[in-house]
Structure 1
Amino acid sequence: MSEIWKPGSFTKNFSWGPAENGLRQLYEMIRLGFAGEMVDVERSIFRQRVADSGRSDYIPINFFLFNKTIDGKDFLVADELVFQALMAPHTANFDRLALFALNFSYVGRWSGAESTQRRPALWAYHYIIDRVATDFKWNTDKINADDIQNFIEGDRRYRAKSARKVSTNLKYLYGVGRLEAFSDSRVQRWWVDALFLALDRLIEDSALDGHQVPEERYSSVLAGSGFATLSGKASLEKKLATPHLVALFRACGGRARFSEAHVRERTELKIPEVEWFAANDNRPEGAVHPSNPRILKSIPRACAMLARYAGFDVIGADELEQFDIEEFIRSHTRSALDRLREQGIVPTMSVEDLMRMTRGK
């Protein structure tokens, strides 16, 4: 009951455009506000850059992006959501990631913000965890504006006269962003990105209170945040993927993975020569875990060598853009068989012997 839910500017009409565009308006506003650069930007400068578009920026900067104050100046943080907006074309993956950011509801703080604005959409967070995940078992067909309104207004933590506008806006977002993708129990690209975004936000949020999260606590902090429930239908595949991705996040240096200077220094401490680092191509590369090719994370190019320390294989930018899971499996299977042949390792039983053994005859 220590939580207080306030709708804030979420009651405003952001004019998302045609449903088939998904959350493209948010995607384009991030690209414009950050001017295509993966560096923290002053909140005032971001707002100046988007002012000419004639659009309200309250929803993006107060509900989707992360804010922090440095030396008296308010900044918007360049984290995983910004990385996906700047370094990849707009796809449904971005929309899922953005919906997760909204539901996760960690947006930091800025000058003049109320304490409740640090987690401004707790009503969405609890609707997903308590209603959609728990009661509906991720059957998103049961979601409607009336149900959202009843849920919000039925909780004493909600402090506003009406939740109708909040409910209709949220239902619309879940529709155009296609929240139904969260009901897939398989590991998907947006889910992998969401795990990195969750860690980015949790670590930054803790830093606002002067606390540094030790690397060895990343897994426990992630688990305590409700990520596993909030990010979609639970599965063994996701559970097994999580420690691999946390290890990759750690190996790449957390949010410092976006700093080329930091990554170069971190790498050169272990590998004297870094000829792989090519400044003329800044496209992200891919880190894929050999245990499951669906555990695929796009990472800054400079992090490629660091990803190998976490047990990941690295694929180039071209292969990442056209990644084919089945072809990846076939290719790795052929490579494994070739290595066995080179080492003179051959089967000790025939196919007939194997069939007899498995059939118990």
Structure 2
Amino acid sequence: MADNQEIWRPGSFTKNFSWGSPSAGLSELHEILRLGFAGEMADVPRQEFRRRLKASGRPDYIPINFFLFNKSIRGIDHLCADELVFQALNWDHTPRFDKLALFAFNLSFAGRWTGARKEQRRPALWANAYIRERLASQLGWNTRSVNANDIERFVEGDVRYRAETTRKLATNLNHLFLGGRLKELESVRIERWWVDCLFLALDRIIEDRLLDKKNTFSSEYASLLEQAGFVELTGKPTLEKQLAIKHLVALYDACGGRARFSDEATKARTETLVPDVQFFVANDHRPRGAIHRTNPRILKSIPAACAMLAKYAGFDDLSPDDLEDFDLEDYVKRRTQAALDRLKQQNIEPSMSAEELMKLMRGE
């Protein structure tokens, strides 16, 4: 439903932001985040971020005004280290990052900074509305109809759009859709980028509410995701995705929200929630994997210190190497064989082999 109180102003998005060919994906943004945060998972002053980028000659307004979240800390404008930054700092550029970054843009929560106009808090609502109202609602997530002409017609005919030009916005947005691999968001299965998007959505929603001095309780997470249009923004809705949201919300809560990036906060949370288990001190500080026992497609990369908290939420732990080389079919096969072995130890004979069970699960 259109909100006539919304005002859509494209701002600097109508400029040429020089990110190269769509075939390169959003690799330029990936490098910008690495430079701006200097490899540290910590909020960085906005001016310091810009200073670090200036030496490289890279544009900074699009990343800091459209892709990142801004907030004031002790009177100084900062850029938040959240799930998007976590993925950029810990992995090389991949298509998974492109899809997460595109989601961050489409979700359009950018926070507040000194001198920002009111509408800059949600700077790309025109893109958000195009995905939710046009692509999801009218086209059923069939991306074949998405192009610059269709985007231009959408914004041109909407009273919420307040700018002189529509063509440059349309061509830039279509370029971003190509680089961000919008077509790959059509997938009906849960994939790792989708799981990452859910964590990023909660990071941004909670921070945005804090700007209005609103605390957020874990019981509200699922409904806030729904209000923000998370499902509509991330491809075709399925029952598998709806069921996964419940498990991922529990994992996000167990890990402490954005405090998961603080070892100190994570240690305190572990001692509170899992008092009988010694805090997991990781010799290997690379992120680990949390995989849900009911559906191995629900796989989330988490900071190493969150391993015990993930177990508390009903997830199994994957080592950094297992996470890096994760193979879904091999994982299911090994888990199935282990279950059959346990049954055999109890003198319970299965009626089919692990291979036969795998075929049954694949629908063969």
> Please, what TM-score do these two structures have when normalized by structure 2?
0.93
**Residue segments in structure 2 that go unaligned for 5+ positions in a row:** 354-364
Deviation at 1:2, TM superposition (A): 0.8
User: Are the counterparts in 2 of residues 148 and 167 from structure 1 also a CA contact under 8 Å?
Assistant: yes
In the alignment, which residue of structure 1 is the partner of 2:340?
A: 337
User: Are the counterparts in 2 of residues 14 and 55 from structure 1 also a CA contact under 8 Å?
Assistant: no
Tell me which of 206, 210, 216 is aligned to 2:219. Answer: 216
Tell me which of 152, 156, 173 is aligned to 2:155. Answer: 152
Cα deviations across residues 330-355 of structure 1 (Å, max 9, x unaligned)? 110111112222233345x899xxxx
**What letter matches 2:154 in structure 1?**
F
User: Are the counterparts in 1 of residues 22 and 176 from structure 2 also a CA contact under 8 Å?
Assistant: no
Deviation at 1:33, TM superposition (A): 0.3
Q: Please state if 1:281 is matched with 2:263.
A: no
1:24-43 to structure 2, matched below 5 A, reads 24-43=27-46
Question: How many percent identity over aligned positions?
Answer: 58
Deviation at 1:90, TM superposition (A): 0.8
Q: Please state if 1:227 is matched with 2:252.
A: no
Q: Please state if 1:191 is matched with 2:194.
A: yes
Distance 1:131 1:19 in 2: 22
Superposition RMSD in Å:
1.4
SS of the counterpart of 1:112? Answer: coil
Q: Please state if 1:243 is matched with 2:246.
A: yes
SS of the counterpart of 1:293? Answer: strand
Higher deviation after alignment, 242-251 or 214-223: 214-223
User: Are the counterparts in 1 of residues 32 and 58 from structure 2 also a CA contact under 8 Å?
Assistant: no
User: Are the counterparts in 1 of residues 279 and 308 from structure 2 also a CA contact under 8 Å?
Assistant: no
1:95-114 to structure 2, matched below 5 A, reads 95-114=98-117
Distance 1:177 1:107 in 2: 18
In the alignment, which residue of structure 2 is the partner of 1:18?
A: 21
> Please, what TM-score do these two structures have when normalized by structure 1?
0.94
Q: Please state if 1:124 is matched with 2:144.
A: no
Q: Please state if 1:170 is matched with 2:173.
A: yes
**What letter matches 1:66 in structure 2?**
F
Q: After the TM superposition, which segments of 4 or more aligned residues of structure 1 sit over 6 Å from their partners?
A: none
Deviation at 1:273, TM superposition (A): 5.3
Cα deviations across residues 84-140 of structure 1 (Å, max 9, x unaligned)? 000111100000000000100001010110000000000000000111111211111
Change (3 A) 1:226 1:275: closer
Distance 1:15 1:224 in 2: 34
Cα deviations across residues 27-84 of structure 1 (Å, max 9, x unaligned)? 0000000000000000000000000111210000000000001221000000000000
In the alignment, which residue of structure 1 is the partner of 2:308?
A: 305
**What letter matches 1:153 in structure 2?**
E
Higher deviation after alignment, 14-23 or 166-175: 14-23
Higher deviation after alignment, 116-125 or 216-225: 216-225
Distance 1:231 1:19 in 2: 20
Distance 1:248 1:345 in 2: 34
**What letter matches 2:287 in structure 1?**
P
SS of the counterpart of 1:106? Answer: coil
Tell me which of 137, 140, 164 is aligned to 1:137. Answer: 140
